């Protein structure tokens, strides 16, 4: 009898305390970690989101930067932390699904509690405006005629820009006849595209508009509003899973976060992404908002992790 009483009070206490924990959440400021340098795209997006996220969650929110190793340093550091919901990282497709499959990092598929996705932009394959190539067929013909002559650039090995060009040229069956020239970041790469040292590059629409460039195909399920004459990769004849590529990103907590806390963070994320202030920010910065809730984002993230392995194989990484 006494034992029973003890157990039941103990259980009640545990339930009460965990409920109290979720009830009380958040009791202190929440840290949003940008795994890249201050001033970069990810950092700016987080700084644009943070004030609205703070308002929605009812607590202070601050952004910190932990750059290095293509985002893997921050992810590796977060992976070992206690899943209390006070530390979240904004991770992109490459940090969460590509890097752990090509590098010996201490995190992997099951290291995270996905909270929400925030943005997703399809990528495009593009050339300089004065390039002789008008269609994907032109490219195939020219590359087959002179194997080893043409060069495609990337912002670094394993980056989204690299995977875009690999998807395009592997899909067209000419990857092995071309040369890959990696740069450090998209800036130097688009300079060389302007100068003519590389002939092809792949990135998002926002970046493509930085220069005098022309798209050849878009890795989206439909054609883009701004480029109605540019075919999708599927139309060009590229098959799944190489035909759709999105530079997506969202908030992740370490695995094992309490469902109640996850739900609170998810709700705050949804409200802040939908806020007028963030909408205006997204509009100015060319961010394509793409919100997914925790359950949906979890399924999406896991599916992406699997399907990206074929891309990684094609890239020879």
Partner 1 sequence: MLSALPEAIGILLSVEGILVLVLGTVLGIILGAMPGIGSTVAVAIVLPFTLTMGQAPAILLLLAVYAGSVYGGSISAILINTPGTPQSAATCLDGYPMAQRGEAGIALGWATVASVVGGLVSAIVLIFAAPQLAAFALQFGPIETFALILLGMTCIVSVSTGSVVKGLMAGMIGIFLSTVGGDPILGEMRFTFGNWQLFAGFNLLAVVIGVFALSEVFIRASAPISRVSDLVAFNGIVLPSWQMWKGRLRNLTKSVAIGNVIGVLPGTGAATAAFISYAEGRRSSPNRDGFGKGEPDGIVSSEAANNAVTGGALVPTMALGIPGDAITAVMLATLTLHGITPGPKLVEDNPTLIASIFAGFFIINLLLLPLGMMLSRVAAPILRVREAFMMTAIVILCAVGIYFVRGNPFDLLIMGGAGFVGFLLRRQGVPMAPLVIGMVLGPTLELTLRQGLILTDGNFLAFFTDHPIAMVLAIAALLALSLPLWRGLLTRRAA
What is the contact surface with partner 1 in residues (CB under 8 A)?
Answer: 37-41, 43-44, 47-48, 64-70, 72-73, 76-77, 102-106, 148, 151, 156-158, 179-185, 187-188, 190-192, 194-195, 197, 206, 209-212, 281, 284-286, 317
Beta bridge mates, 179: 151
Residue 230 near residue 124 (C-beta atoms within 8 A): yes
Q: Burial of 40 by CB count in 10 Å (0-12 exposed, 13-18 middle, 19+ buried)?
A: middle
Torsion-angle region of 148 (φ positive above 0: left; ψ -120 to 50: alpha; else: beta): left
Tell me how far, at minimum, the Cβ of 309 lies from partner 1, in Å.
16
Tell me how far, at minimum, the Cβ of 249 lies from partner 1, in Å.
16
Q: Give the residue among 88, 112, 116, 70 at the shortest CA–CA distance from 30.
A: 88
Tell me how far, at minimum, the Cβ of 18 lies from partner 1, in Å.
30
Tell me how far, at minimum, the Cβ of 216 lies from partner 1, in Å.
19
Q: What are phi and psi of 279, to 5 degrees?
A: -60, -45
Give the residue with the Cβ less far from partner 1, 173 or 187. 187
Give the residue with the Cβ less far from partner 1, 8 or 283. 283
Give the residue with the Cβ less far from partner 1, 191 or 302. 191
Name the maximum alpha-carbon separation found in the chain. 88
Q: Fill in the DSSP letter of residue 238.
A: P
> Six-digit token pair at 207?
């970046």
Tell me how far, at minimum, the Cβ of 202 lies from partner 1, in Å.
17
Tell me how far, at minimum, the Cβ of 101 lies from partner 1, in Å.
12
Question: How far is residue 265's CA from residue 262's CA, in Å, rounded to a whole number?
Answer: 5
Give the residue with the Cβ less far from partner 1, 227 or 231. 227
Grouping H, G, I as helix, E, B as strand and the rest as coil, residue 47 is helix
Give the residue with the Cβ less far from partner 1, 192 or 298. 192
> Six-digit token pair at 86?
């006070």
Tell me how far, at minimum, the Cβ of 267 lies from partner 1, in Å.
25
Q: Which residue has the tokens 């450090």?
A: 184
Give the residue with the Cβ less far from partner 1, 100 or 114. 100
Q: Give the residue among 86, 169, 82 at the shortest CA–CA distance from 133.
A: 169
Give the residue with the Cβ less far from partner 1, 182 or 293. 182
Question: How far is residue 285's CA from residue 22's CA, in Å, rounded to a whole number?
Answer: 35
SS3 content of the chain, % helix, strand, coil (to 5): 50, 20, 30
Grouping H, G, I as helix, E, B as strand and the rest as coil, residue 258 is coil
Give the residue with the Cβ less far from partner 1, 41 or 238. 41
Residue 198 near residue 190 (C-beta atoms within 8 A): no
Tell me how far, at minimum, the Cβ of 184 lies from partner 1, in Å.
6
């Amino acid at each position: 009898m006494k034992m029973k009483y003890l157990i039941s009070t103990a259980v009640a206490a545990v339930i009460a305390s965990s409920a109290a924990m979720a009830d009380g959440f958040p009791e202190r400021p929440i840290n949003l970690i940008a795994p890249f340098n201050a001033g970069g795209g990810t950092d700016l997006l987080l700084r644009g989101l943070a004030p609205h996220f703070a308002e929605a969650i009812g607590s202070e929110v601050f952004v910190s930067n932990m750059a290095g190793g293509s985002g893997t340093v921050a992810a590796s550091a977060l992976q070992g932390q206690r899943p209390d919901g006070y530390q979240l990282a904004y991770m992109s497709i490459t940090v969460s699904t590509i890097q752990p499959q090509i590098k010996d990092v201490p995190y992997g598929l099951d290291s995270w509690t996905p909270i929400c996705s925030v943005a997703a932009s399809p990528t495009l394959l593009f050339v300089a405006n004065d390039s002789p190539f008008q269609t994907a067929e032109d490219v195939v013909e020219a590359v087959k005629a002179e194997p080893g002559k043409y060069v495609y650039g990337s912002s670094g090995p394993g980056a989204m820009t690299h995977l875009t060009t690999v998807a395009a040229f592997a899909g067209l069956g000419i990857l092995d006849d071309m040369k890959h020239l990696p740069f450090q970041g998209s800036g130097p790469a688009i300079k060389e595209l302007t100068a003519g040292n590389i002939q092809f590059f792949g990135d998002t629409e926002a970046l493509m508009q930085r220069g005098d460039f022309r798209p050849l195909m878009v890795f989206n399920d439909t054609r883009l509003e701004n480029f109605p004459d540019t075919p999708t990769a599927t139309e060009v004849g590229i098959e799944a899973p190489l035909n759709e590529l999105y530079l997506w990103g969202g908030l992740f907590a370490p695995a094992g976060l309490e469902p109640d806390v996850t739900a609170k963070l998810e709700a705050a994320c949804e409200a802040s992404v939908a806020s007028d202030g963030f909408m205006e920010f997204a509009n100015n910065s060319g961010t394509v908002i793409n919100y997914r809730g925790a359950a949906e984002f979890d399924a999406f993230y896991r599916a992406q992790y699997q399907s990206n392995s074929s891309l990684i194989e094609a890239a020879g990484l």
